[in-house]
């Protein structure tokens, strides 16, 4: 993999030029950051788990017809994806109050919301990804009204899909963040899910115990982040074989 052209390096991933036009290779690092990179750590194995988990969710979305950038996993840390023109917005969907919504509106974390709430943040690290309204998005030309309608519809489909997948393994999907990109076909474009879907970008709570199984474990110093992500991967049956713990042989009578 020597001398590949690096296109972009972010906090948790690196993008390389892909083997064919219109493709990129997405590499998952072990780095974890929080609070706009004020807090940083390397969590051994996080990149491997997120590569597998994002593959699992994107593949499932493809199977139910939710368009996304995933093509195939290449190895433990890399996947081949379609290159898109990223819309500079973080799209957040919330089912229960938590995090910044709880702070902003004084809501107890875990309070069920009357319906899923979609929020947009403008992707700008220097500004700390501020919350923006649809008015801002249209006025500043980050997306058109049609894009916005499509983004909301896509985000709600992802929410239904992810909520069901998680419920099946005893996990509550509290909220999540996605990024969406444009794919151009002649003069027209359509929107697809890009970036990643992983416990870095979701809030996942065990339904029985309320145990946090997402990046809040790191943000709030609640224990081992890799144990939490491994638990999510184990429940979904997507643990890479060399990360599973060996068990003693059992005698068969
Ligand atoms: P928030 O409550 O901090 O606004 O986060 C909402 C959701 O978005 C939560 O699932 C975590 C995710 N998220 C990211 O993926 N990246 C970020 O930079 C932030 C702040 C949140």
**Residue 251's pLDDT is what?**
77
Note whether residue 216 is domain-resident. Answer: no
Note whether residue 25 is domain-resident. Answer: yes
- Could you tell me where the beta strands, DSSP code E, fall in the chain? 6-9, 13-17, 23-28, 31-34, 39-42, 70-73, 78-82, 85-86, 89-96, 112-122, 131-132, 171-185, 188-194, 202-206
**Residue 177's pLDDT is what?**
99
**Residue 253's pLDDT is what?**
63
Note whether residue 150 is domain-resident. Answer: yes
Q: What backbone phi and psi angles, to 5 degrees, belong to 168?
A: -60, -20
Angle at 216 between CA 180 and CA 6, to 5 degrees: 45
Residues 127, 178 share a domain: yes
Rounded to whole angstroms, how far apart are CA atoms 239 and 249?
A: 20
pLDDT of residue 124 exceeding 50, the answer is yes
The band of 247, judged by pLDDT with boundaries at 50, 70 and 90, is low
Note whether residue 214 is domain-resident. Answer: no
**Residue 242's pLDDT is what?**
58
pLDDT of residue 244 exceeding 90, the answer is no
What is the rounded end-to-end Cα distance, in angstroms, of the chain? 49
Note whether residue 152 is domain-resident. Answer: yes
Nearest ligand 1 atom, CA 131: 4
Nearest ligand 1 atom, CA 216: 11
Residues 181, 128 share a domain: yes
CATH assignment of the domain containing 24? 3.30.200.20
pLDDT digits (tens, 9 = 90+) for 82-95: 999 999 999 999 99
pLDDT of residue 220 exceeding 50, the answer is yes
Q: Which residue's CA lies nearest to atom 16 of ligand 1?
A: 201
Residues 170, 73 share a domain: no
56 near 139, Cβ under 8 Å?
no
Calculate the average pLDDT of the chain.
95
- If you average pLDDT over residues 36-54, what whole number do you get? 97
What's the 11 CA to ligand 1 centre distance in angstroms? 14
Nearest ligand 1 atom, CA 36: 18
Q: What backbone phi and psi angles, to 5 degrees, belong to 194?
A: -125, -160
What's the 245 CA to ligand 1 centre distance in angstroms? 31
Residues 42, 80 share a domain: yes
What's the 201 CA to ligand 1 centre distance in angstroms? 6
Q: Which residue's CA lies nearest to atom 2 of ligand 1?
A: 99
The band of 249, judged by pLDDT with boundaries at 50, 70 and 90, is confident
Residues 135, 111 share a domain: yes
**Residue 241's pLDDT is what?**
66
In this structure, the residues whose C-beta lies within 6 A of any atom of ligand 1 are: 92, 98-101, 129, 175-177, 201-203
Nearest ligand 1 atom, CA 100: 2
What's the 249 CA to ligand 1 centre distance in angstroms? 43
Q: Which of 35, 37, 99, 128 to mutate to test the pocket of ligand 1 (most atoms within 8 A of CB)?
A: 99
The band of 246, judged by pLDDT with boundaries at 50, 70 and 90, is low
What's the 97 CA to ligand 1 centre distance in angstroms? 12
Residues 75, 119 share a domain: no
Residues 169, 236 share a domain: no
Note whether residue 217 is domain-resident. Answer: no
CATH assignment of the domain containing 160? 3.30.470.20
Residues 78, 58 share a domain: yes
What's the 190 CA to ligand 1 centre distance in angstroms? 25
Note whether residue 34 is domain-resident. Answer: yes
Nearest ligand 1 atom, CA 200: 15
Print the domain residue range for 51: 6-84+224-251
Q: Which residue's CA lies nearest to atom 8 of ligand 1?
A: 177
Residues 230, 189 share a domain: no
Query: Which percentage of the chain shows pLDDT scores above 70?
Result: 96
Residues 168, 94 share a domain: yes
**Residue 252's pLDDT is what?**
72
- Please give the tally of structural domains in the chain: 2
Q: pTM of whole model > 0.75?
A: yes
Residues 138, 201 share a domain: yes
**Residue 153's pLDDT is what?**
98
Cα 168 to chain center, whole Å? Answer: 19
**Residue 3's pLDDT is what?**
75
Note whether residue 218 is domain-resident. Answer: no
């Amino acid at each position: 993999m020597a001398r590949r052209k690096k296109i972009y390096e972010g906090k948790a991933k690196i993008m390389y030029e892909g083997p064919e036009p219109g493709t990129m290779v997405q590499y998952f690092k072990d780095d974890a950051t929080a609070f706009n990179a004020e807090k940083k750590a390397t969590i051994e194995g996080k990149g491997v788990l997120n590569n597998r988990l994002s593959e699992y969710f994107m593949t499932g979305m493809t199977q139910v017809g939710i368009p996304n950038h995933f093509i195939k996993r290449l190895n433990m840390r890399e996947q081949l994806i379609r290159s898109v023109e990223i819309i500079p917005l973080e799209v957040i969907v919330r089912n229960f109050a938590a995090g910044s919504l709880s702070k902003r509106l004084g809501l107890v974390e875990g309070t069920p919301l009357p319906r899923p709430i979609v929020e947009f943040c403008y992707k700008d690290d220097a500004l700390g990804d501020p919350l923006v309204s649809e008015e801002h998005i249209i006025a500043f030309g980050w997306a058109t009204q049609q894009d916005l309608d499509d983004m909301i519809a896509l985000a709600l489909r992802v929410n239904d899909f992810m909520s069901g997948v998680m419920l099946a393994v005893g996990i509550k999907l509290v909220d999540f963040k996605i990024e969406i990109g444009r794919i151009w076909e002649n003069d027209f474009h359509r929107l697809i899910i890009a970036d990643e879907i992983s416990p870095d970008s979701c809030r996942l709570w065990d339904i029985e115990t309320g145990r946090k199984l997402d990046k809040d474990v790191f943000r709030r110093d609640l224990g081992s982040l890799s144990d939490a992500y491994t638990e999510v991967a184990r429940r979904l049956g997507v643990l890479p074989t060399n990360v599973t713990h060996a068990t003693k042989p059992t005698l068969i009578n």
